Structure formats: C-alpha cells, structure tokens
C-alpha cells in the first residue's frame, strides 16, 4: 500500500448550484491547505449510485499513485449505512457503503476496507444530512496529511456490492447492455474488447453485426469521423468498450435507447 498523496478527487451528485461542493473543499483546505483538489464530476444524476460508480471506474486509474477519491452519492445519508475507507495497492476511496465502489472492488486485489468510526475525523454538526462535508471531506484531508488507515476504524469484510451485468453468450450471439450514455448521446455498452475477441474465437467469426433496437450495424469503424450523422455506427472507445454513436449527433435521442437497453452481437 502506497502512502497517500495530497491529491483529493471529488465525485458527487451535488451539482454546482448549491453550497455543497464549496463546503467540502473548504473543510479539506482548512485541515490540509496544501491539498490539491480535483473535481471528477458533480453532475451525477441525483441518487444514481451506478452512474457514479461508472464515472469513477472510468477515470480513477488515470490519477497518480496515492490519490484519494471522495465519492458522495448518498441517498441513505444519516441512516445506518456505513461510511467506508477502501485502500488498494495504488489508491484510496472514501464513500458510503451503498455499492458505489462495486466496480472498484471487483477489479482491485488486496484491498483493505474499514468502516470510518473515529470521531476525531468527523465535524460536529447540528444535523445528519451532510456527511460529504462533516465526515468524508475531513477524513480525506486527515488521510492526506498522513493519518494511518488503521486509525479510521475497524476492518470489515462485507461491503455492500451491486449486481454488475456481464455480457452472456446465447446461441450464436453475444448479449450485452447499454451501461452509460455520455453528454454527446453516445451509447456505451458493457461489452469490452476482450469479450469481442473471445466471442470471435468461440464463434469463428471475423465479421460482426451489432444489433441495437431495430438497427443492425455492420462491422466496426475506428473513429467518429468514419461514421455518419444519420446512420448509427459502432466502434471501440478509448476505455475499451463497444460504443454506438452518430457523428456529431445523439444516438440516444435518435434511437430512443438508454441505460439498460439491449445490444447484441452476431
């Protein structure tokens, strides 16, 4: 386990209209003035834990070793849900124990998970509605200042995890689903390059047809510019996922498909 860095990232569904994000940053800087704070996103749809998990999983590896990631999409704030600290070989994560870290916990090995119970790291507050400010922000700041992971609370081995849909083989087809729609309206699936390679080998196929809704897409292109603004195309994006798109247009709006929509390769 690497020592924590002074880089603290923030991910939330707080938006930028209210005082929430500014308050968290103020608390962090009051404890650790040299902290470097990076906003991953505060535009997660309210209460959408899976969306937050996807955004985090897509970018946390881009950060330097020792980075501390604070993730607050917390519809259960103030309840019996546990606040947790997860330490991996390269990164640290602070989040409510509500499944937000499911993808991280699936992919990382040799993790240490602790329930945050040390009152030293909680700010006194008259209410219990803002653990982002009162618990997660100060905990991250103290961790960045060098407080040992062991001081935050007891080890737990039963974190809440959410079901993660993986592509499945059905006959001569590979079935997946749309797991995210980005701001450009691109439909990002849970089918990876590895899934496609394994399917091609098992099915003996060189050419693939991608079926989404009523649309059949023949083969893959390499870039957005190779696609059309009128007819959906498919490519492998920079995260290694199969993606359906319209060049300079919204595939989601045009095709009326969103998260959970089926995608089929044959």
Last residue within a domain, chosen from 126, 151, 176: 151
Indicate whether 126 and 179 sit together in one domain. Answer: no
Cβ atoms within 10 Å of 256's Cβ, excluding its own? 10
CATH of the domain at 19: 3.40.50.10790
Indicate whether 205 and 85 sit together in one domain. Answer: no
Which letter does DSSP use for residue 4 in this model?
P
Indicate whether 12 and 103 sit together in one domain. Answer: yes
Q: Which of 217, 177, 180, 221 is nearest to 195 (CA)?
A: 177
User: What's the chain's Rg over C-alpha atoms?
Assistant: 21
Domain total in the chain: 2
Indicate whether 172 and 57 sit together in one domain. Answer: no
Last residue within a domain, chosen from 116, 151, 186: 151
Domain span holding position 176: 168-265
Domain assignment of residue 261, yes or no? yes
Does the predicted model carry a pTM greater than 0.75? Answer: yes
Q: Which of 154, 26, 17, 39 is nearest to 97 (CA)?
A: 154
Q: Which pLDDT tens digits describe the chain residue by residue (266 residues)? A: 778 779 999 999 999 999 999 999 999 999 999 999 999 999 999 999 999 999 999 999 999 999 999 999 999 999 999 999 999 999 999 999 999 999 999 999 999 999 999 999 999 999 999 999 999 999 999 999 999 999 999 999 999 999 998 999 998 999 999 999 999 999 999 999 999 999 998 888 778 999 999 999 999 999 999 999 999 999 999 999 999 999 999 999 999 999 999 999 99
């Amino acid at each position: 386990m690497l020592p924590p860095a002074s880089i603290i990232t923030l991910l939330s569904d707080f938006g930028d209209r209210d005082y929430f994000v500014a308050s968290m940053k103020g608390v962090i800087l009051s404890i650790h003035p040299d902290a470097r704070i990076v906003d991953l996103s505060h535009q997660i749809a309210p209460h959408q834990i899976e969306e937050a998990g996807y955004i985090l999983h897509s970018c946390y590896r881009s950060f330097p070793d020792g980075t501390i990631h604070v993730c607050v999409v917390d519809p259960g704030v103030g309840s019996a849900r546990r606040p947790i600290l997860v330490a991996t070989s390269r990164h640290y994560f602070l989040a409510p124990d509500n499944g937000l870290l499911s993808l991280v916990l699936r992919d990382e090995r040799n993790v240490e998970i602790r329930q945050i119970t040390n009152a030293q790291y909680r700010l006194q507050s008259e209410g219990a509605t803002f653990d982002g400010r009162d618990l997660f922000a100060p905990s991250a700041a103290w961790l960045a200042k060098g407080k040992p992971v062991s001081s935050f609370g007891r080890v737990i081995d039963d974190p809440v995890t959410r079901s993660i849909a993986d592509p499945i083989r059905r006959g001569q087809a590979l079935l997946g689903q749309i797991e995210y729609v980005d701001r450009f309206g691109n439909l990002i699936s849970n089918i990876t390059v590895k899934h496609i390679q394994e399917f091609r080998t098992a099915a003996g196929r060189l050419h693939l047809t991608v079926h989404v809704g009523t649309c059949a897409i023949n083969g893959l292109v390499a870039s957005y510019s190779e696609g059309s603004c009128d007819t959906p195309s498919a490519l492998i994006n920079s995260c290694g996922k199969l993606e359906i798109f319209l060049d300079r247009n919204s595939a989601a709006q045009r095709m009326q498909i969103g998260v959970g929509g089926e995608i089929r390769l044959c």
